[in-house]
A and B are shown apart, each in its own frame.
Chain A
Amino acid sequence: MENSGLRGLGGAGFPAGRKWKSVAAEPAPRLLAINIDEGEPGTFKDRWYLERDPHRFIEGALVAAWAVCIDEIYIYLRDEYHGCRAILEKEIAALRKNPPCKLPPVHLRRGAGAYICGEESAMIESIEGKRGMPRLRPPYVAQVGLFNRPTLEHNMETLHWVREILEKGADWFASHGRNGRKGLRSFSVSGRVKKPGVHLAPAGITVKELIAEYCGGMLDGHKFYGYLPGGASGGILPASMGDIPLDFDTLNQYGCFIGSAAVVILSDKDRAGAAARNLTKFFSEESCGQCTPCRVGTAKTLTLIGKAKWDQPLLKELSDAMMDASICGLGQAAPNPVLSVMKYFPNEVA
């Protein structure tokens, strides 16, 4: 698992093998919490795989449970995915009836519509029956997690790849990749392309390559203008920067990141500023409200960018406070759309 280089595919990108090692080193009982909240706007890869091959992530979960000596498994499912819930209920029941191995108890828990419950510690709070407010870390979830037990938390797709990596070997996964990057990525592509959807492509592919080779090109009458490389949190880049390899660590120098690989394509019929307003409104509504920088910062940002001319120094100062002091990734990443527009689409907001 370590040699494959597999990193978490929900957004944070923590090395999977290393996480297994760290939880295995903690005292029993240990729990596994599987995150299928899939709340990052533009992301639908988990749903795609769940609808077509739910057994693969379950198999990955059972392998992880065996390797890390897990006592109980909790699956947290986005409640809007009721079709997937029917599938999962049926398959978990079938699994219990005829388990392929010693089966730990498997609990299927429903989300209730909160984006913040996709954050690992807020998800854990939610499973515990409390309000989905992220915890202060340390202690980290691997040491003190669900019901105070050491917890292995994974995005569903990360576990989905365990089986193939074990069958084909660590080198197989790492043998894929483009532009100097390693691995595969399931891109959830939406927006102004002919073929939106989940596209499994080499990590490191550029957005221009992705549009041309996987998405059938731009819609007729639409000219490529910009893109979100990583959902609502990953920033917004212009078409002129469409040759950057899409992977972990490659976008960070531009103030962006790949997150859950939710790529949204904008055309000349769109405005990056309008996208930023949409995303900022989303963050202000989804903020759990626990900490001042995010609760107040997202609302204040929304007010400031509602004006035709943006007060850029004030927005920058506010963004710095949010990125420095927010308790969790929501507040830390919420300024990214606005910062991207100020940096890469200055003509829109001068």
Chain B
Amino acid sequence: MDRISTAQAATMPVEFKLNGRTVVGRSDETLIETAKHYGIDIPHLCYKEGMRPDGNCRACVV
């Protein structure tokens, strides 16, 4: 099997079920971002795009 680069591995598709529906995300993407692509807005308070995720409000726990 051919070896893949770290950059390629970061973008490898990850398939999973979101609210019962099969969706595809990227391995360098967060659940919040993937869900947004599919029109699902996960409630959140401390998360801000572009800033380091701190994960302490716990509103987005799924």
Contacts and interface: CB of A to CB of B under 8 A. Distances in A.
A303 interface: no
B14 to A, nearest CB: 16
A292 B59 contact: yes
B15 to A, nearest CB: 21
Interface residues of B, number: 7
Nearest to B59: A292
A241 B59 CA distance: 37
Interface stretch (B4-12, B17-25, B50-58): B50-58
Interface stretch (A160-168, A304-312, A319-327): A319-327
B55 A326 contact: no
Interface residues of A, number: 9
Given A290-B56, A291-B56, A291-B58, 11 more contacts: A291-B57, A292-B45, A292-B56, A292-B57, A293-B58, A324-B61, A325-B58, A325-B61, A326-B58, A327-B55, A327-B58
A101 interface: no
Contacts of B58: 291-293, 325-327
A136 interface: yes
Nearest to A136: B55
Nearest to A290: B56
Interface string B3-46: 00000000000000000000000000000000000000000010
Contacts of A136: 55
